[in-house]
Amino acid sequence: MRIKSITVRNYRVHRELSVQLDDFRTLIGGPNECGKSTLVEAIHRALFLKSKITGDVQKSMVSASFPGAPEVEVAFTVGAAEYLLAKRFSGNSGTTRLARVGGETWHGEEAETRLASLLKVEAVGG
């Protein structure tokens, strides 16, 4: 698996941030408290937590400065196939969409199951 890009919206300190990742190396740099770790956390949570997660974990994603539910989009490749994952972390009304570029699109629990299969994990948590 190779992550190609990440976009976060209303996620903790980020109103909207899009980052394209290099195919060979990526360095995330910046001053203290600018959101570097938050960006990595958002990638991890998009890949490994269900969008309908509730409780303290979901609340910790919410921005104190920007209205709206936290959203994370991750473009990635597995083998020769490219995928776009979009999650909106809004508690019980959270949404997940996984699309294979030029192919099928999955939504909700079906998308979570397909993502777990691509990641080779038993299940996406939450």
According to the model, what pLDDT value does residue 50 have? 95
Contact 39, 6 (CB under 8 A): yes
Q: What is the mean pLDDT of the chain?
A: 91
31 pLDDT more than 70: no
SS3 call for 67:
coil
Mind listing the pLDDT tens digit for each residue in 61-96? Answer: 999 999 999 999 999 999 999 999 999 999 999 999
- Rounded distance, CA 81 to CA 91, Å? 30
User: H helices within the chain, ranges in order?
Assistant: 36-48, 55-61, 108-119
- Work out the pLDDT band at 34, boundaries 50, 70, 90: low
Sign of CA dihedral 12, 16, 21, 25: negative
**Phi, psi dihedral angles at 13 (to 5 degrees):** -85, -10
Percent of the chain whose predicted confidence (pLDDT) is above 70: 91
Enter the pTM of the model: 0.91
**Could you tell me the two tokens for 48?**
């490994």
